Structure 1
Amino acid sequence: MNPSLQEALNKQVANWSLLYTKFHNYHWYVQGNTFFELHQKFEELYHEADSTLDELAERLLAIGGKPVATFPDILANTSLQEASGNERSEQMVQQIVNDFEQITNELRDGIQLANEANDDPTADLLTGILTKIEKHSWMFGAYLGNE
């Protein structure tokens, strides 16, 4: 049992809990000429967030940790910001890119902690999540016209 690895996993549980809610918010409130494509993409993302959240929480339980599971604990442990509810579609996408950048850095740190603890299953889990995040970041960057 590695307390700092458990903390890193719990931060991701909190982040993915917040993202699950944020993706729903964006799904419900997106407007404009990209409504149909973003509405569908945000739905895909909240389903993915749900699955990712469950995997992280179950891994944390498997290594003796306790995942955060209340809104106050989630908000106290996340490194992300809630949706304001006033974002335009491009701002929604940019915020997701920013969130994914934050999570990417934290996942890399978590992978390092898992490797130091010789916890290959946790390192593999975090690497798989990182792979998905990097693909989403690339796609959303292309959507925004980022080079």
Structure 2
Amino acid sequence: MSNSVEAIANQEAQRAQNLSGSRPKTKAVLNQAVADLSKAYSIVHQVHWYMRGRGFLHLHPKMDEYMDALNANLDEISERLITLGGDPYSTLAEFDQNSNLTEEKGTWDKSMEDHLRRLVEVYTYLDKLYQVGLDVTDEEGDAPSNDIFTAAQADVEKTLWMLQAELGQAPGLD
């Protein structure tokens, strides 16, 4: 076997080993994202139901778009975790126990601005979580998971920009 073919074979053997039992930090951050995306979806859905006031006609359907994007990210991240041999959280109790996002009871007394500020908080948290995912997947050499976090972070940053613009704020990522 030539050196290059042998090197490829060794890399593939290492890759197979990595998929079956390592990358503990990557699996942990993927599962954290599962819990947090599930909770974020619930928060956006609550905003969708409880919003009233100026901007309702264009923001109400926008929440559907945000929920669709969160659900797509959740599915991709969960399936990646399964690919790596992980066990994604899959119950409401697990999401609640493991998410770093908090929920509040829905009320009609919040202004549209209050709702949007809450979404900025949620998406800012997701942006930071995805950065942790990027750092961890770099450290553990998991390019496919890194790609997932890169795409998710770009989507979240665009959403943050739009929400901040709606609030009359300049975009400001830390």
Same fold (TM over 0.5): yes
One-letter amino acid matched to 1:70:
T
Aligned residue type for 1:144: L
State the distance in 2 between where 1:58 and 1:14 align. Answer: 14
For 1:72, the equivalent position in structure 2 comes to 93
| Superposed counterparts of 1:55-94, under 5 Å | 55-86=76-107, 87-94=110-117
Structure 1: which amino acid aligns with 2:163? F
For each residue in 1:87-139, what CA deviation from the matched residue of structure 2 results, as whole angstroms up to 9, or x when unmatched?
33211111111111111111111111101111000000000000000011011
Match of residue 130, structure 1, among 153, 156, 162? 153
Kept after mapping to 2: 8 A contact 1:25/1:83: no
Asked whether the 8 Å contact 2:54–2:112 carries over to 1, the reply is no
Give the TM-score, by structure 1 length.
Answer: 0.95
Q: Which amino acid aligns with 1:115?
A: D
Of structures 1 and 2, the larger Rg is shown by 2
Please give the residue correspondences for 1:29-108 in structure 2 after superposition, counting only pairs within 5 Å.
Answer: 29-86=50-107, 87-108=110-131
Cα distance between partner residues in 2 of 1:3 and 1:89: 41
After the TM superposition, list the runs of 4 or more consecutive aligned residues in structure 1 that deviate by more than 2 angstroms. none
Question: What is residue 164 of structure 2 aligned with on the other side?
Answer: 141
Match of 2:143 in 1: 120
Displacement after TM superposition at 1:47 (Å): 1.1
Unmatched 5+ residue regions in structure 2? 1-21
Larger deviation, residues 79-88 vs 14-23: 79-88
Write the distance in 1 (CA, Å) between the matches of 2:33 and 2:140: 18
Superposition RMSD in Å: 1.1
Asked if 1:9 corresponds to 2:54, the answer is no
Query: In the alignment, is the contact (CA less than 8 A) between 1:20 and 1:49 conserved in 2?
Result: yes
Percent of matched pairs sharing the same residue: 31
Question: Which whole-Å deviations, capped at 9, do the CAs of 1:49-104 have from their partners, x for residues lacking one?
Answer: 11111001000000111110111110111111114312332111111111111111
1:68 and 1:74 in contact (8 A); partners too: yes
Instruction: Work out the number of aligned pairs and report it.
Output: 147
Residue range with higher mean Cα deviation, 122-131 or 25-34: 25-34
